[in-house]
Structure formats: C-alpha cells, structure tokens
Amino acid sequence: MEKIKGLIDAPFTPMHPDGEVNYAVIPEYAALLARNGLKGVFINGSSGEGYMLTEEERKLLAEAWMAAVPEGFKVIVHVGSTCVKSSRRLAEHAQQIGAWGIGAMAPPFPKVGRIEELVKYCEEIAAGAPNLPFYFYHIPAFNGAYLSMYDFLRAVDGRIPNFAGIKYTFESLYEYNRCRRYQGGKFDMLHGQDETILPCLAMGGAQGGIGGTTNYNGRCLTGILEAWEQGDLERARALQNYAQDVIDVICHFRGNIVGGKRIMKLIGLDLGPNRTPFQNVTDEEEARLREELEAIDFFNHCNK
C-alpha cells in the first residue's frame, strides 16, 4: 500500500452559531490547507468532534470535503463510533464517494481492554470498505485503550487485508519506533503528535503524519519536514520549538479542539462554536488568546 508522505490535517467541523454544521465554508477551508502545504485531511475525528455528530452529518461532511479538495489531496474519513454497525455504514459510504482511506479509533464505550477485542472491532469496520486503506487511530487518552500497539500489529498482520497502519497519537517514542520497524517497516506509522515531529524524524520515521495544530500552524510544521530533508537541523529545531510555543498557548484555552478552533477565527476563517458539552471560548478569553499569540509573533508565522 502507498505510504503517506507529508502532513495530513485533522480539520475542525465548521458550525453555525446555532450549532448546526456549516458545509458552505469547506471549499475555503480546503483551499487554505492546501495553500499552506498540507497533503490531505482526516475528517470527523477528535478535532472534528466526530462522536458528537449524527451519522448523516458525518456522511454529508465527507461528501462536502470530497467535492471541495484539489486534485491529489487525500481525504481520509474517520468512521469510528460506539456502534460498530454505524461505523460499517460510514466505511461503506466513504468507499462509495471515492475517499482515499478510512480510519477508526477505539470506542470510548465500552472500554476496549484486550487486543483481540480491538482487532475484531477494526476487522468489522474495515470490511465495509475493502478497497480502501484502513488506519487504526491510537489515542488512548480519549478512550482508555492503553494497549500495546506492537502486539496489535502482530495480531492484525494478515488478518485485515486492507490494514494500512496506525495514526499514533501517544507519548511513547520507543513504542512508535518499535512499530515503525515492525517487519522491516511493513505498516504506515503516521505520526500524531505535533510536538514531537522532529525526534521521530531523527529516529527514521514520521515520513507522514496527521496533525491538529496544522489547521493554523501548518506552515511551521511542514517546515520542520522541509528543513530536515535539507539537512538544516538548526532550523528544524527552531521550528519544532516554535510549534511547542503555540501548543503551550492553546493549553491555556482547553486545548486544540476548543482553543485551536477559535484560532481559526483569528486568522480569518470563522468555524463557529464547539458542540455541547464543550465549553466554548468566551469573548474575554478570545482577547487573552489573541494577546498570547501576539506575544509569540504568531500572526506572522501562521497559515495564510
């Protein structure tokens, strides 16, 4: 299977003020991401509040992104849910509309506590789109599935024909690299933490990744890959440290899903509020968010 090179963005779901999905802004959104060096989108995931959308909304979003993206821009659809039958239908729909691939994280309920449970869950979903690469989205902080991904690869190898790899959003660089080296690099290990791109590059991985802060800081993050390829370690290190500065700011405003989504408004693309039960950024907080970003000269570095 083709391995992804470059960074894929995990977009926010645009909302109207009343909390309904705003599909009309997606063409402008797609153009902004492509203009700033991103290679595709992984929609309806954690940044996109996917579990808080209806099945119909998720399908309409997938169709809207497919209609909006430029040629060669990859659309990967997150289809995970607490209902495996719903996930299977979403996978079937993704294949029908011509998406590049699909992915799923472990469900938040019931908690998956064994490798076999996770493999079976992925197996049923992936079978809904047998012609598309399937990625498991490893983000245990969201669902409590603190399982060995190396053991998962061993269990899934040869069992799911369209299994492509893992979007790895966890802190263990050791396990990430161990999975990357499995069977000589058999599977695509997509790097999922924007704050550790450079160390993973140094270990020989992270040729492809999926990020959340790429929505507004993609120029910086793609620059890390470019500097590394050019052998400019000092520039790569400076850009990685700047990416951390930005992440430090959003941590003051309930993280990327809430604070990051409001940053989109500050760079000129208002994607609206988050859905309940997220606590949205207030006007007062927005003013402080802007001040903190100005203090690190963000608006001269961000996506344009």
Catalytic site positions: 137, 167
Length of the chain: 304
> How far is 105 from 83, CA to CA, in rounded Å?
12
What is the sign, positive or negative, of the torsion defined by CA atoms of 267, 52, 130, 155? Answer: positive
**Which residues touch 237 (CB under 8 Å, ≥6 apart)?**
198
- Helix-, strand-, coil-residue percentages of the chain, each rounded to 5: 50, 15, 35
Q: How many other CB atoms are there within 10 angstroms of residue 142's CB atom?
A: 15
Q: What does residue 89 show for φ and ψ, rounded to 5 degrees?
A: -65, -40
The two tokens of residue 142 are 């969201």
> How far is 208 from 168, CA to CA, in rounded Å?
11
DSSP structure string for 146-178:
---HHHHHHHHTTTSTTEEEEEE-SS-HHHHHH
Closest CA to 303 of 34, 5, 120, 1: 34
What is the sign, positive or negative, of the torsion defined by CA atoms of 196, 201, 203, 209? Answer: positive
